[in-house]
Amino acid sequence: MPSWFPTHTYIWGDWHKDTVLGPERAAHISPLKEGLDQKILFTIHTDAPVTPPDLLTAVYAAVNRKTMFSNTVLGPDQVISP
C-alpha cells in the first residue's frame, strides 16, 4: 500500500517545478487522484521530523496541491476531495 507525502507538493513544489523536475514531472508528485482512479488504497503521511507532524497540512496539500510560495496548483488533475 503506498503512503504518499502530499505536503511535499506544498513545501517543496516550487523548488521541484522550477529547479529539479520541471513542471510536467513535478505535477505528478504524490499522485493521489491517479491512485483513487486506479482503485489503489493509500495513506498519506507527514514525514516528520522532515516536516512538522501536522496531518491537517497534509490534507490541505492533498486537496489543494498549492505550492507554499507561488501558490501554484501543482498537478491540478491530482487534487482530491477531503
Q: For residue range 17-64, list pLDDT tens digits in order.
A: 999 999 999 999 999 999 999 999 999 999 888 888 899 999 999 999
**Cα of 75 vs its chain's centroid, Å:** 9
The full set of domain ranges for the chain reads 3-47+56-78
- Please give the pLDDT value at position 50: 83
* Unique residue bearing C-alpha cell 493509500: 42
pTM, 2 dp: 0.87
Of 4, 2, 3, 1, which Cα lies nearest the Cα of 75?
4
Contact 44, 59 (CB under 8 A): yes
Structure confidence at residue 74 as a pLDDT band (50, 70, 90): very high
Positive or negative torsion for Cα 73, 69, 55, 42: positive
Of 15, 24, 19, which Cα lies nearest the Cα of 67?
15
